[in-house]
Amino acid sequence: MSGPDRAVLPVDDPTRPSIRRAVFGTLWSVALFVVFTATKELKPIYLHAPWLNDPYDTVISFAMFFVPLMAAFVLVQVSLCLRSEPLFVSRVVSIVRACRVAIGVITVELLSAWLAVILRANEGQWTPEATGLEVGLLFVVTLFACVAAAYLARVPHVSRHDARADSVDDWIGDAVVVAKRESRRLGVFRSCAMFSIELCEGTLIPGVRRHLITAAAMLSAGFGMVVFGWQALREGYVAAATLLSMGLGFCGMFSFLVLAGSYFRLVRSTNPSFGFRRRAIDGSVVACGAAVVVLAFRDNLWELIGSTRSAAGPARLAALEGGAILLGFTLTILVESLLRSHDRLTR
Domain identity same for 64 and 190: no
Domain identity same for 8 and 118: yes
The 10s digit of each residue's pLDDT in 11-59 is 999 999 999 999 999 999 999 999 999 999 999 999 999 999 999 999 9
The 10s digit of each residue's pLDDT in 133-162 is 999 999 999 999 999 999 999 998 765 545
Contact call for residues 128 and 51 (beta carbons, < 8 A):
no
The 10s digit of each residue's pLDDT in 208-218 is 999 999 999 99
Q: How confident is the model at residue 3 (pLDDT cuts 50, 70, 90)?
A: very low
So what's the pLDDT on residue 146?
98
So what's the pLDDT on residue 159?
59
So what's the pLDDT on residue 308?
86
Phi and psi dihedrals of 88, rounded to 5?
-65, 130
Q: Is 262 domain-assigned?
A: no
Q: Nearest-CA neighbor of 58 among 107, 13, 109?
A: 109
Report, as an integer, the average pLDDT of 275-292. Answer: 97
Domain identity same for 190 and 49: no
Domain identity same for 180 and 156: no
Report, as an integer, the average pLDDT of 274-300. Answer: 96
Number of neighbours of residue 150 by Cβ within 10 angstroms: 12
> Rounded to whole angstroms, how far apart are CA atoms 224 and 133?
30
Q: What percent of the chain has pLDDT over 90?
A: 85
Domain identity same for 25 and 152: yes
Domain identity same for 127 and 48: yes
So what's the pLDDT on residue 9?
93
Q: Is 320 domain-assigned?
A: no
pLDDT over threshold 80, residue 346: no
pLDDT over threshold 60, residue 165: no
What is the average pLDDT score of the chain? 92
Domain identity same for 118 and 199: no
Domain identity same for 175 and 134: no
Number of neighbours of residue 343 by Cβ within 10 angstroms: 14
Q: Is 334 domain-assigned?
A: no
CB within 8 A of 305, min separation 6: which ones?
316, 319, 320, 323
Q: Is 58 domain-assigned?
A: yes
The 10s digit of each residue's pLDDT in 292-307 is 999 999 999 998 888 8
So what's the pLDDT on residue 197?
96
Domain identity same for 76 and 202: no
Contact call for residues 197 and 179 (beta carbons, < 8 A):
yes
So what's the pLDDT on residue 5?
56
Measure Cα distances from 307 to 298, 316, 327 in Å. 11, 8, 19
In terms of residue numbers, what domain contains 181? 170-210
Q: How confident is the model at residue 270 (pLDDT cuts 50, 70, 90)?
A: confident
Domain identity same for 154 and 176: no
Q: Which of 126, 161, 196 is the endpoint of a domain?
A: 161
The 10s digit of each residue's pLDDT in 190-199 is 999 999 999 9
* Helix pair angle (275-296, 56-78), 10° resolution: 130
Q: Is 101 domain-assigned?
A: yes
Domain identity same for 43 and 154: yes
Q: Which of 129, 144, 161 is the endpoint of a domain?
A: 161
Q: How confident is the model at residue 344 (pLDDT cuts 50, 70, 90)?
A: confident
Q: Which of 161, 184, 202 is the endpoint of a domain?
A: 161
So what's the pLDDT on residue 310?
83
Domain count for the chain, please give it: 2
Q: What is the dihedral of CA 23, 28, 33, 35, to 10 degrees?
A: 150
Determine the Cα angle at 9 with ends 8 and 12, to 5°.
140
Report, as an integer, the average pLDDT of 224-249. Answer: 93
- Concatenating the DSSP letter of every residue in 71-87 gives HHHHHHHHTT--TTS-E
Domain identity same for 94 and 200: no
Q: Is 200 domain-assigned?
A: yes
> Rounded to whole angstroms, how far apart are CA atoms 338 and 139?
46
So what's the pLDDT on residue 79?
96
- Concatenating the DSSP letter of every residue in 153-189 gives HHSPP--GGGSTTGGG--HHHHHHHHHHHHGGGGGGG
> Rounded to whole angstroms, how far apart are CA atoms 186 and 164?
35
Q: Is 246 domain-assigned?
A: no
